[in-house]
Structure formats: structure tokens, C-alpha cells
Amino acid sequence: MLRLAGLANAGSRRLPEWAVWLAGLIPLAWLVWLTFTGGLGVDPVRGIEHRLGKTGLWFLIGTLAIPPLRALTGVNLLRHRRAVGLLSFLYIALHLTAWIWLEMGLLWAQAIRDLARRPYLFFGITAFLLLLPLALTSNKAAIRGLGRNWRRLHLLVWPAAGLGVLHYLWQMKIVSAEGWIWAAILAALLIWRVIQPWIRTRRQKIRPGIRAESLSD
């Protein structure tokens, strides 16, 4: 296990950020291909919307899973967390764009009527608005400028993910296990995030020499 984690970490250290972006854009390239080859079935707009929403959710949960992955397995992907988070924002922004442009035809009055008809869209929009300042401050200048407040601000990712999952669960026409699996994963990640400071303190008591940096997320 340790050997595998070591190999994964060596690979991760060597992996440039652009390669993570390239890999993260594969689902988008695949979606473009399906759109132009008629691979999205009878309702391509719905297909585009749904695929973008799901991919955004995968990346969002993926971002939150990076610290526990390191704590539980030793695999350290922290240096790629920013790219994964920004990829999540990109897909969610495209998901929103698909709704307003392809489904609503940029007709704002119709969009407002749709919001009243499908209240779960409010959850989605609120989640997007919470993610917006995070995406805008995911750069070195903002991290330096905001200091400790940067960490506080980025805790908004949790309510955003919660609202994203609620939005997903509510829009399901047929109850499917998938939505609940995402909800369970998010709940497990949140529990881990809440108990993690306690685990950290206990570990420090047991092994006082442990480097503070190796415990931070």
C-alpha cells in the first residue's frame, strides 16, 4: 500500500498542471463529439445539460475528496486540487450556460418562469453563486491578499456542494440510487472534515514530533 502511494505521489509530483487540465477536458471533448455526431439521442439539449451537470458534480466531490484520500491512503494530490476545483467550476458554468442559452434561448422572462416551475433550479443557482468567488480567488495573488480569510472563504465549497447534491436529488424524475450515492459520499466527506481536526490533535499528542505541514490539508 505504502509502495503504491509512493509511486502515485512520484507520478503526481511529475504531472504538470496543464496535463490535469487536458485530462479534465476529455469529458467536454467527448460531449462535443457526441453533439456533432448525433450521439445524444432524441433530446440533445437535455443530454448536454445533464452530462455537464454530472461532470461538474464529479469534479466538485473529487476536490473535496483529495485531503481524506491523502490521510487514508497516503496518495497526495493536493497540488492538483486547484485545477480539479476550477474544472468543476468550468463544467458547472457550462451547465448553467446550456440551460440559459440552449434550453431558454436567452429569453430571461422564460428563464424566470422556469425557475418558478422548477424550484430546484434555485439550489443550483445558489450553489453556482457560492462557487463563483472561490473560482475568482483561486490564484496566488488572491491567496496572498486574503491571508487567513482565504481559507474561511473557501469553506463555501461545502454549502455549494450540499446545494448541488440537493439540486440533483430534487430534479430526479425517477428515484435512482446514483443521486443517493453522491449524497452519501458528500455526507461521509463532511463528517471526515468535521472530525479531522480532532484526529489531528490526537495524532500530534501521540507523535509530538510529527511535522505540522504533513498534517495540514
**Chain CA centroid to CA 34, Å:** 23
The C-alpha cell that represents 144 in the structure block: 496572498
63 binds ligand HEM (CB under 6 A): no
CA distance 158 to 149: 16
Smaller CB distance to ligand HEM: residue 106 or 141? 106
Of the listed pieces 12-20, 166-174, 186-194, 200-208, which binds ligand HEM according to CB under 6 A?
166-174
50 binds ligand HEM (CB under 6 A): yes
The interface with ligand HEM within residues 119-148 (CB under 6 A) comprises: 121, 124-125, 127-128
Q: Among 75, 90, 99, 186, which residue sits at the site for ligand HEM (rule: CB under 6 A)?
A: 99
Q: What is the DSSP letter of 109?
A: H
8 Å CB contact between 56 and 85: no
- 3-state secondary structure at position 213: helix
Largest CA distance in the chain: 62
CA distance 104 to 110: 6
80 binds ligand HEM (CB under 6 A): no
158 binds ligand HEM (CB under 6 A): no
8 Å CB contact between 77 and 12: yes
186 binds ligand HEM (CB under 6 A): no
Of the listed pieces 34-42, 89-97, 144-152, 184-192, which binds ligand HEM according to CB under 6 A?
89-97
CB of 68 to ligand HEM, least distance (A): 20
Smaller CB distance to ligand HEM: residue 187 or 210? 187
- 3-state secondary structure at position 211: coil
8 Å CB contact between 73 and 173: no
CB of 128 to ligand HEM, least distance (A): 4
Q: What is the DSSP letter of 138?
A: -
203 binds ligand HEM (CB under 6 A): no
62 binds ligand HEM (CB under 6 A): no
Q: Among 56, 62, 67, 85, which residue sits at the site for ligand HEM (rule: CB under 6 A)?
A: 56
Alpha-carbon Rg for the chain, nearest whole angstrom, is 19
CA distance 193 to 172: 28
Smaller CB distance to ligand HEM: residue 47 or 74? 47
Residues near ligand HEM, by CB under 6 A: 46, 49-50, 53-54, 56-57, 60, 92, 95-96, 99, 121, 124-125, 127-128, 160, 164, 167-168, 171
